[in-house]
Amino acid sequence: SNPMGLLRPQQNAHRNLLDISGLWDFQMDPGEEGEAAGWFRALPMPRPIVVPCSWNDLYDDARDYLGLAWYLTRIWAPAGWRAQRVFLRIGSANYAAKVWVNGTVVAEHQGGHLPFVAEIGPQLGWDQPNVIAITVENKQLLGRVPPGPGEGGGGVAGVLGGYPATTYDFFPYAGLHRQVVLYSVPAEAHIDDVTVGTTIEGSDGVVNVRVHASGGYAGQGRVRLNGAETELSFQAGSAEATLRVPSARFWAPGSPHLYPLTVTLADGQRSTDSYSLEIGIRTIAVRGSQLLLNGQPVKLTGFGKHEDFPLSGRGLNLPMWVRDYELLRWVGANSYRTTHYPYAEEAMDLADRLGVLVINEIPAVGLNFEDPPEATAQRLAQATRQLQELIARDKNHPSTILWNVANEPMGGPLLGGGPPVPEAAEAGMRFFRQIYDETRRLDPTRPVTMVGVQGGPLEWHGIFDVVCINRYYGWYTQAGRLDEGAETLARELDELNSRFGKPIIIAEFGTDTIPGVHAQPAEMWTEEYQVEFLRRYLDIAAQRPFMAGMHVWNFADFKTGQGTSRAAGMNFKGAFTRDRRPKMAAHFLRSRWAQL
Ligand code: GCB
């Protein structure tokens, strides 16, 4: 079952959906006086704001503001929904949110990038406008995921000297980043979760469907898939069926076939609820050092990305997404990683539809196991919730082939500036064993990985199914010495292969590159240097059959905090500029990938 009610809302004959995004009222509340003053009824000095959008690029005084802010709108509940159960769903509030409906608190939630839901029928008025108020703050606190830098800085912020201070290398955009919707479901039993698992038997697809319905539903239902139909008999809210698709078209990049699947609750001839989704029939597995899609070895080509664009910040930007998928196709990428947090649900739909493989990551970036044990305990609880929410949200997407539970956790000095600290390495082992087991419990069908930092404790990789590493030999170390960097990389890959015998993915490698800056011979920050760096890494991987993927850092330039190593508040490691123009590197990657 899906206790968080995260089944994506949809409109059909039994259910309703109303997007209440758009222009809302906004007010920052640095003194945190609004709640006592009743701002959940009306804001004293409102300015317009866009939902979904980050607030940071819209107002000068909001640029670096990460404190408490209020969002407020007034809506009419559609009269036709009166007999149904009504919910409010917030797609992403970055980071902590509290929600009022007509003055009553209906939800609180921690963590951005993932949806949360509150049932609001009892608070709604049907003969008057309803006031929806949401507070959001993005304080960088030690116990959060991602963690804040805590006292005296630390983490990446300390190294980069970034402002606003973060433990990670991207701008801490804040606000309501995805749509806010109202939806309704039948007052009698409704479908509250569907879990689809697919296997392949010869040329047939075998589709297992588990359904959960509310209120301990004990009636009948059915599943329809590809013209075939099977009965469902519910007991205590649960039912399960297995369907066979003869001579199925399996989902893969290049042939991303989707089959429509509909689950219905039925009381005799009368259907009382239904829910539809598009499924892909495919398998994903690890065998030795190979990643197998539908039983065939697959090698990932692509990038780490960001949800990042001028003005909209981290807010849902559908034109950006459609353009990015077009550029992924153009450059010959078959995959990307959702660095460093879950991406929009529409982005996952597009990956299914366009045949793009996704490494799907929770927002666990900047974990440092030298931090106090209380902080680690809080982060474990929060990361576990984020995993539960992410898997509940994305488990039915064929495009998600790998769960990633952390990016560059630290257990000592960065970039091999010294050996790992044994106590920190052990704390990390305990943390990741629990996280790994929880991930496998929630979803036994997908492999799990952790993305390791250069110089970090290698034993952590032993826990996971796939070894993912970020490496910057020839940039952060061996600066200006591409050949030396390449030698170190080749040696380390061979060591990792003999130690683990698992698939290895370089999940990040890249160099900051100012577009239009050139040098012969290649020099750091130039377009030539980026190409020569990428060429060496790709060549080394091509010579090693155990390499399962290469993800360039980054798809596009992106906004960071301000600091001495981030010119103009940007990370310039994109193959494309922030406005999606190709650098030389994009053309180079296309020459290597597009004909594969
Ligand atoms: C990393 C991080 C990524 C940074 C990148 C860089 O290892 O995972 O978030 O942006 O390095 O450019 O330094």
Look at 240 and 595; give whichever has higher pLDDT: 240
* Residues acting as catalytic residues: 408, 508
In what helix (H) or strand (E) does residue 318 lie, and over which residues does it extend?
helix 318-331
Same domain, 523 and 390: yes
Average pLDDT over residues 115-143: 97
- CA neighbours within 13 Å on the CB side: how many for 371? 28
Same domain, 80 and 103: yes
pLDDT in tens, 22-37: 999 999 999 999 999 9
Same domain, 63 and 179: yes
- pLDDT class for 93, splitting at 50, 70, 90? very high
Task: Give the span between the Cα atoms of 256 and 264, in whole angstroms.
Answer: 26
Does residue 484 fall inside a structural domain?
Answer: yes
Ligand 1 atom closest to the Cα of residue 454 is: 7
Same domain, 92 and 198: no
Does residue 352 fall inside a structural domain?
Answer: yes
CA 490 to ligand 1 center in whole angstroms: 20
Task: Give the span between the Cα atoms of 457 and 116, in whole angstroms.
Answer: 35
Is residue 4 over pLDDT 50? yes
Domain enclosing residue 363, as ranges: 284-593
167, 169, 477, best to mutate for ligand 1 pocket (most atoms within 8 Å of CB): 169
Which residues does a 6 A CB cutoff place in the pocket of ligand 1?
Answer: 168-169, 340, 407-408, 470, 508, 553, 571, 573
- pLDDT class for 487, splitting at 50, 70, 90? very high
Share of the chain above pLDDT 90, in %: 95
Same domain, 275 and 330: no
State the ipTM, two decimals: 0.99
Ligand 1 atom closest to the Cα of residue 168 is: 9
- pLDDT class for 570, splitting at 50, 70, 90? very high
Look at 441 and 150; give whichever has higher pLDDT: 441
Is residue 188 over pLDDT 70? yes
Same domain, 234 and 332: no
Instruction: Please check whether residue 175 is in contact with residue 572, taking contact to mean a CB–CB distance below 8 angstroms.
Output: no
- pLDDT class for 1, splitting at 50, 70, 90? very low
Is residue 155 over pLDDT 60? no
CA 184 to ligand 1 center in whole angstroms: 42
Is residue 596 over pLDDT 80? no
Instruction: Please check whether residue 370 is in contact with residue 421, taking contact to mean a CB–CB distance below 8 angstroms.
Output: yes
CA 365 to ligand 1 center in whole angstroms: 10
Same domain, 484 and 582: yes
Instruction: Please check whether residue 209 is in contact with residue 222, taking contact to mean a CB–CB distance below 8 angstroms.
Output: no
- CA neighbours within 13 Å on the CB side: how many for 202? 5
Is residue 568 over pLDDT 60? yes
Q: Tell me the CATH number at 215.
A: 2.60.40.10
Same domain, 463 and 556: yes
453, 571, 572, 578, best to mutate for ligand 1 pocket (most atoms within 8 Å of CB): 571
Same domain, 235 and 333: no
Number of domains in the chain: 3
> What is the separation, in whole angstroms, between the first and last Cα of the chain?
41
pLDDT in tens, 450-475: 999 999 999 999 999 999 999 999 99
Query: Residue 269: what pLDDT?
Result: 87
Residue nearest atom 4 of ligand 1, based on CA coordinates: 169
Average pLDDT over residues 248-257: 98
Average pLDDT over residues 171-191: 97
Average pLDDT over residues 232-257: 98
Which of 128, 151, 185 is the last residue in one of the domains? 185
pTM of the model: 0.97
- pLDDT class for 160, splitting at 50, 70, 90? low
Is residue 553 over pLDDT 70? yes
Query: Residue 273: what pLDDT?
Result: 98
Same domain, 361 and 270: no
Query: Residue 268: what pLDDT?
Result: 85
Mean pLDDT (the chain) is 96
pLDDT in tens, 313-356: 999 999 999 999 999 999 999 999 999 999 999 999 999 999 99
457-462: long-range pairs with CB below 8 Å, 24+ = 457/411, 457/412, 457/420, 457/424, 457/425, 457/428, 458/496, 458/499, 459/425, 459/429, 460/409, 460/411, 460/425, 460/428, 460/429, 460/432, 461/496, 461/500, 461/502, 462/500
153-162, 276-285, 498-507: segment of lowest average pLDDT = 153-162
Query: Residue 6: what pLDDT?
Result: 86
pLDDT in tens, 381-396: 999 999 999 999 999 9
Share of the chain above pLDDT 70, in %: 97
Contacts of residue 255, defined as CB under 8 A and 6 or more positions apart, other chains included, come to 249, 355
159, 170, 508, 512, best to mutate for ligand 1 pocket (most atoms within 8 Å of CB): 508
Query: Residue 161: what pLDDT?
Result: 59
